[in-house]
Amino acid sequence: MKSDVNKLLKKNEQLNQLDSVKVISHVQRESGDWFQHTLMLDGYDVPFKYKRTKKYRSLEGASVNLTYYPQTEKVAGMEFESMKVVRIRRS
């Protein structure tokens, strides 16, 4: 499994990897046909976001491994930094 992550990281230099981080908050919102998931992680002030086609069990309190890249969203004329999750696994 580590080799898959290493391939992704080598392929795209902007990707980052976090291992065994604790999820403090997990919010799931319906957005059309998709569910928008937002995670807040222990020690990070930035939301980690990803979309899935259905609801997922709550990850709150769980330890996860994430592959993500930084992005900037513009809301009401203000820019907010967030992280777009490409891959998530319970650890």
What's the rounded mean pLDDT across residues 26-45?
94
C-alpha 35/C-alpha 61 separation (Å) is: 20
- Tokens (6 digits) for 74: 């513009």
What's the rounded mean pLDDT across residues 79-86?
91
Predicted TM-score of the model (pTM) = 0.84
- Tokens (6 digits) for 81: 């930094």
Res 6: pLDDT = 66
Instruction: Let me know: does 39 contact 63? Beta carbons within 8 Å.
Output: no
What's the sign of the alpha-carbon dihedral 21, 37, 14, 12? Answer: positive
pLDDT at 24 over 60: yes
What's the rounded mean pLDDT across residues 58-70?
93
Tens of pLDDT along 8-23? 666 666 788 899 999 9
Res 56: pLDDT = 86
pLDDT at 1 over 60: no
Instruction: Let me know: does 22 contact 6? Beta carbons within 8 Å.
Output: no
C-alpha 41/C-alpha 61 separation (Å) is: 9
**Helix/strand/coil for 4:** helix
